[in-house]
Amino acid sequence: MGDFRLTGLDKFAQYSIILEAFNTKGDGPPSDQIIAQTLEDVPSAAPMALSCSALTSQNLQVMWHPPPTHLTHGNIQAYKLYYEPTEEWYETDVRETKVTTALTSVLHGLLPFTNYSLQILATTKAGDGVLSPVTYCMTEEAVPEAPERVKAVVVSDDTVVVSWLPPRHPNGLLTKYTVYIRVMEQGQEMKVIKGTLPAQHTHYDAVGLSTKETYEAWVTASNKVGEGPSTMVVTLKPRSVVPAAIVSFGQMLVVAWKVNVKMICLCVGIPRPIAEWKLGDQKLHSQPRMEVTAENTLFIQNVQRNNEGNYSCHVKNNLGSDSIMYSLQVQVPPTAPLLLATTITLNSVQLQWKQGDNGGAAVKGFLLAYRREFGEWEEISVERRATTYLLDGLRCGTRYQFRMAAFNKIGSGSASSLEVARTKGGKPIAPPSARFLKINSTSVHLILSAWQDADCPILYFVVESRRDGPTNENEWRLGKYS
């Protein structure tokens, strides 16, 4: 009983097989035909033409086509659709998955006016196939949330400043703010005054007030969809005594490095307050790239990561004091990953890495560069969730160099230290002459199979010969051998 392995066949393909025996007299009769099918494998191509469109502020319609039939390698069991917001503030690194057997799907419960990244793959019994390239789609606008914070600061006996912070989620492009001022008398509403301001303004001077009246105020934000909910209600009570107070709000500032940063500390008070800035507990003075303007605004040029910290503005007069704090975070490119070659075979190297400091912003991906020693560098983009990568199709017995850099929304960081690995295998090993040569009076028989391949397949042989002795024919010649 003999056996023979058919190799290089297509995946998930049906074959007809007939066997014939032959000898010196010729071919024998064919065997009965048998039908055999190779096993399923994962798809080697992604679903095609992934597209999407916004249905509402919280729903996206997603459509695609199956992978090419010859690259499916099995019966498609389902499609896995991956999606997540790409907004800078949404860096929780949580990717949602939806599984479906259809060629279209509606994603529900999304965030308004948010850009989503989408990828899809097909699955067979053998497992998950290749992810598609990323497609982006934005949900429609919705009414904005309420302005995040609001307060009222007395300026004089007839003026109060109402200030606020923009909505945390504007859900669109803001078009205006509306300030409502309600006149109260003995707890009853007498009338409501309404004022509007452009979207870039975040404080409103309520003038012409009376110390004999009590007022209440609230603020809303609007975009093209409409007006959003209001802030909490604050009380306005003008008075002639004006203690030091700050109109501006302290807040978290997250900025890219090398930009200019402005921290506003607009203050009021009679007499005029004395103001100072501190970094931590240390009083700030003007210095290169950092100054405090006449309007009490702290200005930092070409901000660097060593400028991070808590900056506080303090104002006081003989009637009172106030303070706010800005927490400054500076985002920079990531530091270099620690790269190691862990598993090495004849034609592959498994790489593993550990990411260092992400620079204050989520890592978006990695750039892996590799080359044969003294060769040209080639580069591969690796998705951000990966911590290992199998680089295959390499030459056996060859020394390779690797380096890796991470990148975030600020840019690409410095590359890792050079990692060097040599694939397994070596040069062919020559046999002893007694095993390699068979010589008679007119010929030399070379037994090429006596050479050991050192685990690297031998590609070809070069045979040269020359006549020994002091003659003119002792130069090496390439021979013609069969």
Q: Strand ranges (DSSP E) for 240-319?
A: 242-246, 252-256, 261-263, 267-270, 274-279, 282-283, 290-292, 298-300, 309-317
255 bridge partner residues: 330
Residue 255 has pLDDT above 90, yes or no: yes
pTM score? 0.78
Mean pLDDT (the chain) is: 90
Residue 432 has pLDDT above 80, yes or no: yes
- Of the pLDDT bands very low, low, confident and very high (cuts 50, 70, 90), residue 256 is very high
**How many CB atoms are closer than 10 A to CB 271?**
10
Model pLDDT, residue 480: 55
Q: If residue 366 lies in a helix (H) or strand (E), which one and from where to where?
A: strand 365-372
Cβ(272)–Cβ(245) below 8 Å: no
Cβ(240)–Cβ(156) below 8 Å: yes
- Beta pairing, strands 135-138 & 104-107: unpaired
Cα–Cα dist 195/201, whole Å? 12
Tell me what percent of the residues of the chain surpass a pLDDT of 70: 96
pLDDT in tens, 172-189: 999 999 999 999 876 777
Residue 428 has pLDDT above 90, yes or no: no
pLDDT in tens, 11-67: 888 899 898 888 877 788 888 899 988 999 999 999 999 999 999 999 999 999 999
Query: Once rounded to an integer, what is the mean pLDDT over residues 337-364?
Result: 93
Model pLDDT, residue 292: 92
DSSP-derived secondary structure for 132-195 = PPPEEEEPPP-PPPPBS-EEEEEEETTEEEEEEPPBS--SS-EEEEEEEEEEEETTEEEEEEEE
Query: Once rounded to an integer, what is the mean pLDDT over residues 318-336?
Result: 96
Model pLDDT, residue 482: 46
Cα–Cα dist 448/429, whole Å? 11
Model pLDDT, residue 471: 62
DSSP state, 126? T
Residue 89 has pLDDT above 80, yes or no: no
pLDDT in tens, 362-394: 898 999 999 998 899 999 999 888 999 999 999
Model pLDDT, residue 454: 74
Lowest mean pLDDT segment, chosen from 276-290, 442-456, 463-477: 463-477
Domains, the chain: 1-140 (2.60.40.10), 150-240 (2.60.40.10), 246-331 (2.60.40.10), 338-422 (2.60.40.10), 433-478 (no CATH)
Decide: residue 139, CB within 10 A, 0-12 exposed, 13-18 middle, 19+ buried.
buried
As a 3-state breakdown, the chain gives helix, strand, coil percent values, each rounded to 5, of 5, 45, 50
Q: Strand ranges (DSSP E) for 2-149?
A: 14-17, 22-23, 26-27, 34-37, 48-54, 60-65, 78-85, 96-100, 104-107, 115-124, 127-128, 135-138
Model pLDDT, residue 474: 67
